[in-house]
């Protein structure tokens, strides 16, 4: 690798790059293509940025900030108008082509073998021939998404929705217009576009959109500057916040603590901003309380009945090598998963996977046996 | 100070004591008597242990562990029977006499000037003359408790309930019998004693007691071995868990995150152990949800209306020096409090205090102005 060229592209000195290589940048030698990964943001380089062994760079997707007061947040942040798109609940991938092969990178900068196979299947063959430097930023969603399995989207398997585009070796993304243009040109699905609204009144329309999305079990919205002049913001439905609480509390010992607090606080600000009546606020409180207590008691009761605390998911693959690769990928991500025997079908294999929720499983068993908290 | 004698009493070497003195033991030179404080447990010496400048030691009160499953926890922990006492909700002090002066130590090992004045007022004059080495472990409770102000106990000011006794320069406490003996001999109130129950059936009686205490807004119980052979355990009512959540969420940015998780998880285990019906469980969920959302929205609305997020308390003191001392004590504990002008009454002064909940106040203001979370 030509360190000088890479350092130039990253906007840091060669010395700095070399010292980071010894300490802060991880090497990921599997699967091909090999790459260097920025685990965390360092020296202004986004987390998830990768440098491939051929010297090409794919920048990490910047994390999107969240206002808790929608109206005030929009007025503070946007310039004149706000484009509103759906925030989908799946996993975020960056898809590009390296030395002629399609590669799907996870948020953290790993090549995910399963996402790569899905992307290869769903994308038109010629997209990277026509646009060799293109990076597609997409959300993979659906029941066969092994990271976030949800059946609220119009697929019974896994699908891919474009939400932004970027270029290899270039920082930044191209935003709303370019993304929808690329989606149209290549017949890709883009995340739903709800319209462009003036900054002063956008919050009213967004409230309606978010309430409607929430009723459908969907997550929320991403707010973008139509001309890509300022960073996007995100805002989620109460149902999505509570759904997060439910997942967290059914696996109460496996999740980070700040998960809980942030979801609850979002609910408080949304309730105040939307000037809820006493009745509406009590209904929201009931939803929060039940999202915490009911999944928690289910988990405890299941363990009491001798069950293992786990999560069942299902993937479909064309090649068994993808499944083996994905098994290894989950392991390196610290997820303990047991893969069933593959069931062959017309076009590949269906494989059931059991994710073991280790920490909650062991803690619940200990507490049921009278151990102290 | 004779380091050798102190090290012997602590059960550590002089070398170890000297190295700790340089690093881990804090000096507290105000108010008199000066002392050395163990901030944290080190080398088997409990947190809150203090060494007075005259060489006398008062051991920290050991923290009490909590089973989440009452029956299993009791069976695992106790030998044959379980003495059940009320766990009161106030602040825990250790009161003793050093060089002829009464001193009340907080949990962390500070001399609290206010608690010291209250103890001096409430204790019989001769107690430390008759028992110069006695350490009274007591809970201070009531509406004029500036740390935890609650009006569920039979006092309209502040009162003191003995829950254990110890000796200066001796590790360990003396347990149930000795405590009630001392209380009786000196006319002190002890924490309510609900009886002694066989290990096998104690959980049934304790459940009834805890439910009754909860209905009265009281905290819960401490379970003790009648012969003091094993450490005590604690167990709290759902109302107390939810009350903690309410306090935490009305000051959501000032509390430790693990506060939230632990209260919620307790509720889950209690609901399962008590085999609640669907209706009872929904009622508990409603209580949890409302304990989170309603105080949180109150705080946000108050700030929206331009109020400062704060807490009003009131103390009564005989001497203005105590109030000034207490003001200084709060400051060194990191609590920002503004003291009103003292109002003289028959027997001293009443002083209103405003505790500023700084972090939540500032964070809420920022979020209301559209800042991102």
Residue A66 has pLDDT above 90, yes or no: yes
pLDDT of residue A19: 85
Write out pLDDT tens, residues B263-317: 999 999 999 999 999 999 999 999 999 999 999 999 999 999 999 999 999 999 9
> Is the Cβ pair B293, A257 closer than 8 Å?
no
Contact B285 A268 (CB under 8 A): no
Q: What is the pLDDT of residue A20?
A: 85
From the list B201, B207, B230, the residue with the least C-alpha distance to B220 is: B207
**Residue B278: per-residue pLDDT:** 97
**Contact: B249, A268; criterion CB under 8 Å:** yes
Query: What's the pLDDT band for A134 if we cut at 50, 70, 90?
Result: very high
User: Which tens digits make up the pLDDT trace of B23-74?
Assistant: 788 888 889 899 999 988 988 899 999 999 999 999 999 999 999 999 999 9
Q: According to the model, what pLDDT value does residue B44 have? A: 87
Chain A CB within 8 Å of residue B244 CB: no
Instruction: Answer yes or no: is pLDDT of B174 > 80.
Output: yes
Distances (CA, A) of A258 to A62, A293, A344, B368: 20, 18, 42, 20
pLDDT for residue A193 is more than 80: yes
- Please judge whether A373 and B272 are an interchain contact, meaning their C-beta atoms are less than 8 angstroms apart: no
Q: Please give the radius of gyration of chain A, using alpha carbons only, rounded to the nearest integer.
A: 22
CATH number for the region B62-86+193-234 comes to 3.30.1490.70
> Is the Cβ pair A293, B284 closer than 8 Å?
yes
Q: What is the C-alpha to C-alpha distance for residues B109 and A145, in angstroms, rounded to an integer?
A: 54
Q: Does B301 touch chain A (CB under 8 A)?
A: yes
Q: Rounded mean pLDDT of A287-316? A: 96
Residue A274, chain B, CB below 8 Å: the answer is: no
Query: Stretch B100-120: mean pLDDT, rounded?
Result: 97
| All residues at 6 or more sequence positions from B311 whose CB lies less than 8 Å from its CB, including other chains | B354, B355, B357
Q: Is A9 on the interface with B (CB under 8 A)?
A: no
Q: What is the pLDDT of residue A2?
A: 82
Residue B268 forms contact with A (CB below 8 Å): yes
ipTM metric: 0.90
Q: Is the pLDDT of residue B232 over 80?
A: yes
Average pLDDT over residues A145-152: 94
According to the model, what pLDDT value does residue B143 have?
Answer: 97
B301 CB neighbours in chain A (<8 A) are 272
Cβ of B292 within 8 Å of Cβ of A296? The answer is: no
> What residue of A is the nearest CA neighbor of B291?
A285
Collapse the DSSP code of B128 into the 3-class scheme (helix H, G, I; strand E, B; otherwise coil) and give the result. helix
The predicted pLDDT at position B258 comes to 76
Q: Which residues contact B77 (CB under 8 A, 6 or more apart)?
A: A370, B67, B230, B233
pLDDT at position A18 over 90? no
* CATH of the structural domain A1-56, one choice from 3.40.50.720, 3.10.450.740, 1.10.287.110, 3.90.870.10: 3.10.450.740
Is residue B251 within 8 angstroms of chain A, CB to CB?
no
Q: Is the pLDDT reported for residue A29 higher than 80?
A: yes
**Phi, psi of B190, rounded to the nearest 5 degrees:** -105, 160
Please report the pLDDT score of residue A50 as a whole number.
96
Is A28 touching B (CB cutoff 8 A)? no
Inform me whether the pLDDT recorded for B256 exceeds 90.
no
- What average pLDDT does range A20-45 have in this prediction? 87
Total Cβ atoms within 10 A of residue A12: 17
Domain boundaries, chain A: 1-56, 62-86+193-234, 236-303, 309-355
**Does the beta carbon of A233 lie under 8 angstroms from any beta carbon of chain B?**
yes
Q: Nearest chain A Cα to B364, which residue? A: A269
Nearest residue of chain B to residue A285 (CA atoms): B289
What residues of chain B lie within 8 A of the CB of A269, using their CB?
300, 367
Q: What is the pTM of this model?
A: 0.91
- Higher-confidence position of B88 and B16: B88
Give the pLDDT score at B27.
87
Give pLDDT, residue A255. Answer: 82
Q: Residue A210 pLDDT > 90, yes or no?
A: yes
pLDDT in tens, B206-227: 999 999 999 999 999 999 999 9
- Does the pLDDT at position A259 exceed 90? no
Q: What residue spans of chain B are helical by DSSP H?
A: 3-10, 14-23, 70-77, 113-122, 127-130, 175-186, 202-215, 238-250, 258-273, 278-304, 320-332, 358-368
A203 contacts in chain B (CB < 8 Å): none
How many A×B Cβ pairs under 8 Å?
Answer: 177
* Contact list, A69 vs chain B (CB under 8 Å): 367-370
Chain B CA closest to residue A295 = B268
CA distance B121 to B113: 12
Question: Among residues 50-79 of chain B, which lie with CB inside 8 Å of chain A?
Answer: 65-69, 71-77
Contacts with A261 from chain B: Cβ below 8 Å: 252, 257, 260
The CATH architecture annotation of domain B236-303 reads: Up-down Bundle (1.20)
Q: What is the mean pLDDT of residues A164-177?
A: 96
pLDDT number for residue A24: 80
**Contact between residue B349 and residue B342 where contact means Cβ atoms under 8 Å apart:** yes
Rounded CA separation B149/B153 (Å): 10
């Amino acid at each position: 690798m030509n360190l000088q060229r890479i350092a130039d592209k990253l906007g840091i000195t060669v010395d700095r790059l070399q010292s980071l290589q010894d300490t802060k940048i991880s090497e990921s030698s599997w699967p091909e293509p090999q790459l260097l990964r920025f685990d965390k943001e360092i020296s202004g380089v986004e987390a998830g940025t990768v440098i491939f062994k051929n010297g090409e760079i794919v920048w990490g997707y910047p994390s999107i900030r969240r206002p808790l007061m929608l109206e005030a947040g929009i007025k503070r942040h946007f310039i004149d108008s706000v484009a509103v798109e759906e925030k989908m609940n799946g996993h975020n991938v960056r898809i590009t082509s390296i030395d002629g092969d399609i590669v799907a990178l996870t948020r953290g900068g790993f090549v995910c073998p399963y996402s790569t196979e899905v992307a290869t299947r769903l994308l038109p063959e010629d997209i990277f021939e026509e646009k060799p430097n293109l990076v597609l930023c997409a959300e993979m969603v659906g029941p066969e998404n092994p990271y976030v399995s949800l059946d609220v989207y119009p697929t019974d398997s896994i699908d891919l929705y474009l939400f932004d585009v970027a270029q290899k070796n270039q920082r930044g993304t191209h935003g709303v217009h370019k993304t929808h243009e690329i989606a149209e040109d290549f017949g890709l699905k883009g995340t739903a576009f709800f319209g462009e609204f003036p900054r002063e009144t956008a919050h009213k329309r967004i409230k309606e959109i978010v309430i409607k999305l929430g009723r459908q079990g969907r997550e929320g919205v991403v707010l973008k500057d139509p001309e890509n002049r300022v960073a996007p913001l995100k805002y989620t439905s109460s149902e999505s916040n509570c759904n997060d609480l439910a997942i967290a509390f059914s696996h109460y010992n496996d999740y980070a603590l700040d998960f809980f607090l942030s979801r609850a606080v979002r609910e408080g600000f949304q309730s105040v901003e939307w000037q809820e009546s006493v009745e509406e606020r009590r209904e929201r409180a009931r939803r929060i309380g039940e999202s915490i207590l009911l999944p928690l008691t289910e988990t405890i009761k299941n363990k009491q009945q001798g069950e293992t605390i786990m999560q069942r998911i299902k993937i479909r693959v064309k090649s068994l090598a993808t499944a083996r690769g994905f098994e290894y990928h989950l392991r390196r991500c610290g997820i303990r998963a047991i893969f069933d025997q593959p069931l062959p079908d017309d076009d590949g294999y269906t494989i059931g996977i059991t994710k073991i929720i280790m920490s909650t499983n062991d803690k619940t068993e200990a507490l049921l046996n009278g151990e102290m908290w």
